[in-house]
A and B are shown apart, each in its own frame.
Chain A
Amino acid sequence: MLEWLTGSNKYPEFWKLYLAKFETKSNRYVILNTETTGLNPKKDVILSFGAIGVVNDVVRIGDNFEVVILQYKYLHDNGMSNEFLIESKLTKLAEYPAIQSLVDYIGNAVLVGHRIHFDIEMINDVLEKMECGKLKNEALDVEIMHQKLMDVAKPFSLDDLIKHYKLPQAERNSASDDAYSIALLFLKLKTRLGFK
C-alpha cells in the first residue's frame, strides 16, 4: 500500500524478484570481485565481475559467476584500448544485462569482498540508472575482518592478505581468480574470528 511512496511498482521485474528473495535468510555467501576502470563511482565503470559461492564453509566451484562488461563507449570516449574485451573468452554482456544477471545470481546471499563497499557503490550506481533500488545484501569486507583480527587499523591490500595467510599464489589475472583467493581468505578469517 505504500507503493506510491517507494515507487516500487515502477521497478523492473527482475528487481522485484530480487527483493522477494529477502523474505528468507540465506546461509550462502557470495564472494564478489569487481574490476573497474578506477576508483570514482561517478566517473568510472565496471569492467568485469568474478564471483563464487561459499556454503557451509566450502567454496563451491560450480557456484560461480563471471562476466565481462562491454564498455565500448566508455573505453572509446576515454581513448582506452578495448583489446582485452575482444581477447577474453568469458561471457560478454552489455552493462544492464550484466548487472541484471549479477543480481539474479547473488540473490539474498551475504556479499564478501575486498573493500566490498566500493564494489557495491559501483553496482548501486548502475542500478540507479536502471531505475532500481540499492542492493539490500549484507556485506563483509575481508580487509576489515583482518584488521579486527589483528587489532590494527592500517590498510591491507589483497596481496598483503594473501601473503599474510600464506595462501597458495596461483596465477591471478582475472576477477574470478581474485574472487577465489578472497574466498579462501574469507574461510580462514571466518574460522579465526570464530563466527558462523
Chain B
Amino acid sequence: MGNSIAENIANFLKEYAPFNYLNHEELIQVATSIGVVNLDKHKNLFQINDKLHDSFYVVASGVITLTVIADAEETLLNKCYPGDVFGLRPFFAKNNYMMTAKAREDSIVYAIPISTFKPFVAQNPQVLDFLLESFATNTRNPFDKENRGKLITDNVYTENQQNEIQYFQSLAYNKTPLKVTITAIAKDTAQLMTENLMDNVIVTEQNYPIGIITDSDFRSKIANGRFPLISTIDKIMSSPVITVPENVSVAEAQLLLLKHNVTHLCVTVDGSDKSDVKGVISEHDLIVAQANNPGVLIKEIKRSLSPKELKMVREKLTDLIQSSLAKNIPIPHIYNISGEIITAIIKRSIELSILDLGSPPARFAWFSIGSQGRKEQFLLTDQDSFLVFEDVAAENYRDVKDYFLKLAKRATAILEKVGYEYCPNGHMASNMLWCKSMSDWMKQFNNWMKTPGDKSNDISSIFFDYEFVFGESKIEDSLNDLVFNNSKNNALFFDFLGNDALRKHPPLNFFKKFNLEEEGENKGKFDIKNKAIMPLVDGARLFAISFNLRGINNTYLRFKQLAIVDPKFSEIYLNCADAFLILSKFRTLEGLKNDSNGNYINVDELSKPDKERLRNALGPMRELEELIKDKFQLTQFS
C-alpha cells in the first residue's frame, strides 16, 4: 500500500546528510518507521541522565538547542535547525544521555528508530562517518569547526574519552609534565623548572608519582635557608601528590584542589599513585576552563595573530552574550563586558596592522563611533570609526596621511574578516574624509556645530558618540573640550540635533498598531532599530551634550545620569533607560535567533505578552519627544 506521507518525509530527508547517501527505496523504508513528535516551546525532548530513547532525531521544523550542565550552569552546545540530526548517543553508547535537548521554539522532530537505521549505517560507511562526526560536534561545540575531522577519529569511540570531551574540551592541561627522580638535587631541579618555564615538577619512581615540587616548596624550604641548595629532592617535595584519573571533571578537580588545599593535581592512568603519570592539572588550567569567561577572551584576543583567531573569539563572545541573556544577567553589565571585548578586538586589529606596516610616523588616536562607541553592541553590525593624527609639518603631511590611510585600510579589512561589515555610508577611518589631522578635525567639528545643516546634511550624529580605542589619549581630551566648548549656548546646534532626533517615523500609528515596513524585503516587519531604538539614542545624546555629561556614551547610562542632573524630569529619563534596555533585548534576541543584525522584528511571531511589552517600551519615547520640543526651541530646521 502506498504511503504518501512517508513519501513526503523521504523527500524532505533526502536533502540532508546522512540521508542523501541512501536511495529512494531505503528512504521510504526509513520514513515509514518514523514517529513524529511535536514539541512546544521550551519543552524538553530528553534531559541529561534520561535513559536512552530507542530513536535518534531529525529536526523537521523549529529549533532545538542542545545543552549540558557544567558547574550548575546551562551551557549551550549547539542549535539544531531543520534537517539537523541529533540525539545520536544510542548509536554509540549505552549509558544515559549526557545533554538536554530542548525546543527553543515550537518544533516538530522526526524520531527514527535506531533498529531501523542501524543496517543502513553498517552498509554505508559514509553514513557512519557522518553520524560519528555529528555525534562529536553535538557533544561539545566550542572546538572550532575545522577540528571536526580530528575529533571523530580520536575521541568518540570509547566511553572514557567521551567523558574527556564532555569536561576537558577547553581544559588544556599539561600532558608532558616535568619529571625528576627522587635522587635529583634541588638546585638542578630549580634550574630545570626555570628552563622549562614551569612552576611544578613531578617526582617519580618508575614513572609512578610519589611527590610534587612547586615554586612554593622552594620558597618555604630552600629560600629561607631550612635546607641547603644541594639537598636531594625527597627532602623538600610535597608528598603524597593528589592523583586523579584522566577523565576527571572540571568540577571534581576543583573540589579536590579545595579539599586538599593544593595547587596541582597529578593525572595518572588509573587515578591512583600506583600508575603512570599522564599529566598535571594546575589551578590556572581550571580557571581557563571556566568556559567563555570574559577575562580569558580578552587574553585570547591579545595573543591572536590572525583575523581568523579574532573571529573565533568573536564567535565565543556571541555565545557568552547569549548565555548571559538566558541567565538574565543585567543588560548594562553585558554591554560593559562585550564593549570591552570588542574594543580589545579593534585594538588588536590595529596592533596587527601596525606590526605589518611598521611604527606610525606620528601620534594618532583611533575612535570607534556609533553603537560600538556607545558600547551598545551585541550583534555583528557594521563598523564605524575615525582616525585623528597629530599635526605635522606641511611637507610631511602627505606621507603621514598616506600611512594612516593604509593602516586604517588594513585594520578595517581585518575587522571585516572578523565579521564586521564595512559601513555602507563609509563612516570608517579608511575613508579619506574621516582620517585627518587634528587641526582638520577641529575645523570639521567646528563646522558641524557652528553651521549645522549647512551642506553637511549627510553628517551623521554618530560622530558625537566617539570612544577612544587606541593611540594617544590626549587627542580625545582635546576633542572633548572642543565639543563641549562649542556646545555652550549653541542653540543652533541643539536645534539641529533635536530635529534629527525627532525626524524618525513614529513606531505606532494612530490606532496604537505597530507601523510595519510597507515594502522591501522586510515587508511586514517592525524596524526596531530606526523606529524605536535610534530615537532614544539620539535623544540621550542630545541631552547628554546639552548637560555637558562627559565621558558617558552609553545610552542607558546617559539616561541614568540625566535623571540625576535634571531631577525635574527624572521619571521620564528613567523610563527611557528601562525602555532602551527592553528594546535592546528584543533586538538582540531577534538577531541571535536569525543570525542577523536584528534590525527588523517579526511582530507576528511575538507572543501576546511580548507584544505588549514591546508596545509599552515605546511609550516613554513620546514623553522624551515632548521634552525635546519643550527644552530646545526647534525652529530653524523644522
Chain A residues with CB under 8 Å of chain B are 50, 52, 57-62, 64-66, 89-91, 165-168, 170-171, 174, 176-177, 179-180, 183-184, 187-188, 191-192
Contacts and interface: CB of A to CB of B under 8 A. Distances in A.
Interface of B: prevailing SS: mixed
Given A168-B61, A187-B38, A61 B2 contact: no
B159 interface: no
A58 to B, nearest CB: 4
A188 B2 contact: no
Contact of A183 (B1, B34, B36, B111): B36
Nearest to A166: B106
Given A66-B3, A89-B2, A188-B38, A170 B8 contact: yes
Given A89-B2, A187-B37, A188-B38, 4 more contacts: A57-B37, A59-B37, A61-B5, A66-B2
| Most-contacted residue by chain A among B31, B36, B111 (CB, 10 A) | B36
B246 interface: no
For the complex of A and B, list the 8 residue pairs with the smallest distance between their C-beta atoms, beginning with the closest.
A59-B36, A187-B38, A58-B35, A168-B61, A61-B34, A62-B32, A176-B4, A180-B5
Contacts of A62: 3, 6, 32-34
Interface string B27-63: 0000111111110100100000000000000001100
Interface string B181-197: 00000000000000000
Nearest to B110: A61
A174 B4 contact: yes
A171 B4 CA distance: 11
A119 B9 CA distance: 26
B108 interface: yes
Interface of B: 1-6, 8-9, 31-38, 40, 43, 60-61, 106, 108, 111
Contacts of A65: 1
A90 B40 CA distance: 33
A167 B62 CA distance: 10
20 contacts: A58-B37, A59-B38, A61-B32, A61-B34, A61-B35, A62-B33, A62-B34, A64-B5, A65-B1, A66-B3, A167-B61, A167-B108, A168-B61, A176-B4, A177-B8, A180-B5, A184-B36, A187-B37, A191-B38, A192-B40
| Most-contacted residue by chain A among B3, B32, B38, B106 (CB, 10 A) | B38
Contacts of A179: 5
Contacts of B33: 61-62
A61 B36 contact: yes
Contacts of A171: 8
Nearest to B3: A64
| Most-contacted residue by chain B among A91, A174, A187 (CB, 10 A) | A187
Contacts of A57: 37-38
A184 B4 CA distance: 16
Nearest to A55: B35
Nearest to A56: B35
Contacts of A183: 36
B111 A91 contact: no
